[in-house]
Structure 1
Amino acid sequence: MADQSYTDKPRTSEFANAVVLITGAASGIGQTCARLFALNGCQKLFLVDLSRPKLETTAALIERDGLYPQVELYDGSVADESSVKDMIDHCVEVFGRIDIACNNAGVSSMSARTHEATMADFDFTCSVNERGVFLCEKYEIAQMLQQTPSIANQKGSIVNTASIAGHCIIPTASPYGASKHAVVALTRCDALRHIQDGIRVNCVSPGPVWTPMLSEGGLPEEFIQLTKTMAPMHRFVEAREVADAILFLGGPRGSAISGVNLPVDCGNQLIRSI
């Protein structure tokens, strides 16, 4: 949560030599990733989102945790190619390279069956969730291919945020599900294509996560309670739990892992696989 302190967590130097880029870093999973990377030694963070004031809040939270890495903020849209290209160029200009890229920016969409969905909703959802990840990977990989190996003797590591909707079939959310299945497919295609180049690509598939996107979304209390009841663990996933998985896959402890789609979902995929 945004007001949770990480000052009591163990500190490591695991990411002391890493340049880490995180999209969607203004809140939720992305914000938590930024704080945990800093907590585990990262001294060079490049944080991306649409809202600069909210990115400044993330930077302030890192300082509140008693951590003082070099933090560069970039406000831009991952759905816009010129913005993504400029984002990567700016990160390399400031830090010289990108070791770990966390493509976390995404949007939710109204639950809708295909024949009920509007094209506006479909286009918006896919422009951020699918096109956004594609564009980020396009320019991240191009940069990583030019780099000398660094962490775990690899040129770079990419972790995309998909969703349980990209891991299972949820027939009442076809635009969102389509966008997240695309993230999983892109992850696996690029993992295989670039594994011998020293670039790893993985993704995580969170279940319902208690983030501002959900908690401030105006959802009925009955829906919230039903979602918790249906989950085998009878609770929401915490942003920290997803961030922990991202740090593991992105960092040296995950050096032998590529092409994986890791569910972090309180067991939801066990009952949603149909």
Structure 2
Amino acid sequence: MKPWQTTIQTSCKHLRIGTCDTLKFELVANDTTGSCNTSLETLTIENCDSLPDIPLGNFPGLQVLSIINCKNLQTISIHCGVQTLNLQRHTIRNCDKFKLLPTQMTNVLQSLAFLDLDICQGIERFSEGGLPSSLQILYMIGREKLMTNQKGWGLQTLTRLRYCRIQNSDVESFPNDSIFPPSLEILTLGNHPNLWTLNYKGLQNLTSLRHLTIWNCPQLQSLPEEGLPSSLTALDINGCGLLNQRLESEKGEEWQKIRHIRCVSLDQRLIRGCD
């Protein structure tokens, strides 16, 4: 069966392609930019197992790109000659062979504000040059190889990063050193069955952190001896039975570490409310 190639109407702004086993995109050459679709703003591709690559330069007006359950996707390319793209939201979910984000993304994707890497086990590192400085929200879910190289994330330079959510790993201690920028305001850690300690060295520079959520970390028994950042105003802890037991009493050692926090919730029960 020949690869299926779609011709997208120039007026089309939103496109969803699903369950197409022969889908492939032809790379539009630099000297044929008139063939690019400049109107397309949202593109969602699901369950297209034949797709090995998506050339972003074909869609210079694209703002939202979601790729879901494309098991043979390996790369997202930005071919030479492309100056900047308008992509603002990018989701890659359940694409196990996907290994690397575009190497030119720092310079080309200067509008990218939201990045969701969800269960892409093949990703071992971010692209050379790191992530765009425009990034404000980052989700990283279920990438063991990437979790072992936390220093290589390069998040410290992302001065606009406000929210980071990290889920589904076997990490035992987190975060290693100061991997987050001081601009981070919200941090969510979830579903880490082997996490037993929070590393204060990785939290001490988070002078803007307002909200910390920790859920489903059953081995976590205590908070850092030095406590949590003084900037915290809200703490949510759910499904962390050992730690929750030590936080129930306001006289306990663990409670003393969080007594400065205005809002505290344990297993969805408001222990200390906001004024």
With the length of structure 2 as denominator, give the TM-score of the two structures: 0.28
Determine which structure has greater relative contact order: mean sequence separation of CA pairs < 8 Å that are 6+ residues apart, divided by chain length: 1
- Relative to total residues, which structure has the larger helix share, 1 or 2? 1
Structure ranking higher in strand proportion: 2
Larger radius of gyration: 2
